Amino acid sequence: MAAMTQQASYTLRHAVASSIVVTVRPLGATLSSVLAPDRNGALGEVTLGFDEGEGDAPYLDGRSAYFGCVAGRVANRTKGAAFELDGATYTLAANDGANHLHGGTVGFDKRRWTVVDASATALTLALRSGDGDEGYPGTLDARVTYSLPDPRTLRVAYAATTDKATPVNLTNHAYWNLNDGGASPVVDHELQVDASFYTPVGEGAIPTGEIRRAAGAMDLSAGRRLGDALYDTDGGAGYDHNYARPRAGESFPAATARDRVYTGNFLDGVAGRGGTRYGRHAGLCLETQLFPDALHNAHFPSAVLRPGSTYAHATEHVFSAAAARPAL
């Protein structure tokens, strides 16, 4: 499909008062705003981000902590900023201490994606990442589609193909705050993760290789208020962990989260939308993805995409409002 005339941003919504309103910027295929109705139908911001009038600048000048972007070619951390694949060694940018983070210095978050299809309720963006881009092998063609299958659901679907074996692990890095869009911490948010295992991390937040049964503060299977256990997590700094499901390719109920959970541990007061200062734990990231650092852990599910295969996964966010906080 041919590329379309590019706009600075695109807004998706259904033509009903109860619809969520989603704004996407082609830079980084960034989910820059999500407005959701409260129990009275009033729309409110539920993500962290910047004023639309600031344009792309906050996402390029160092202010953004990956707010709402598509992270890739490989999201999360790669130990030692290098990996071996099919007998060859590839060196990546060390942009997180000695490690590689979210695709490198100019990852997918800082690339301008091409809009290839747009409607009132769906937007598809494409990006070609050439052979050697940020050190990765193979030319990768990636797509992400943001759509509203109904007025209360945001669906994010990813697809990618390659002409040479390469690692791929895409995710969206939106920070969610359902209370006030980041003006206060998410300590009163309740979270349930339908997973019994997680991957502990060591120095530099790199997985140790162990797959451990979740217990204590790390057990979110029954749901819990985040503030009750935030500093009792593995590592003690908050949730920044990969929760593991036993099989890939499953569908998950909307009330659960899969894989990476991150509670904005490194937010340091950056000025965001409307001048709001986003302090520590101002947002919650639910980064659906493959296991972090799978390239160095052969027993983790593989993150390598080969020619002739298609990388694909999708995440749905379903919004609702109740008269009172539901019991978990």
253 phi/psi in degrees, rounded to 5: -60, 150
Catalytic residue among 100, 102, 173, 281: 173
Q: Is the pLDDT of residue 51 over 80?
A: yes
Cβ-Cβ contacts under 8 Å for 5 (sequence gap 6 or more)? none
Locate tokens 């797959």: which residue? 211
More confident residue, 325 or 269: 269
212/231 Cα distance (integer angstroms): 19
Tell me the CA distances in angstroms from 143 to 113, 140, 159, 198, 208, one per residue in order.
9, 10, 5, 29, 31
pTM of the model: 0.93
Tell me whether residue 173 is one of the annotated catalytic residues. yes
Cβ-Cβ contacts under 8 Å for 157 (sequence gap 6 or more)? 144, 145, 147, 312, 313, 314
Contact 134/107 with Cβ under 8 angstroms?
yes
Locate tokens 């929760």: which residue? 243
- Give residue 259's pLDDT: 39
257/240 Cα distance (integer angstroms): 14
Q: Which H or E run includes 58?
A: helix 57-60
Q: DSSP class of residue 232?
A: G
Contact 33/52 with Cβ under 8 angstroms?
yes
Q: What percent of the chain has pLDDT over 90?
A: 70
Banded pLDDT at 4 (limits 50, 70, 90): low
Reported as a single tens digit per residue, the pLDDT across 111-153 is 999 999 999 999 999 999 999 999 999 999 999 999 999 999 9
**pLDDT mean across residues, the chain:** 90
Q: Which H or E run includes 34?
A: strand 30-37
Tell me whether residue 299 is one of the annotated catalytic residues. no
Banded pLDDT at 3 (limits 50, 70, 90): low
More confident residue, 136 or 322: 136
286 phi/psi in degrees, rounded to 5: -120, 85
Reported as a single tens digit per residue, the pLDDT across 254-273 is 333 333 466 666 777 788 88
256/32 Cα distance (integer angstroms): 23
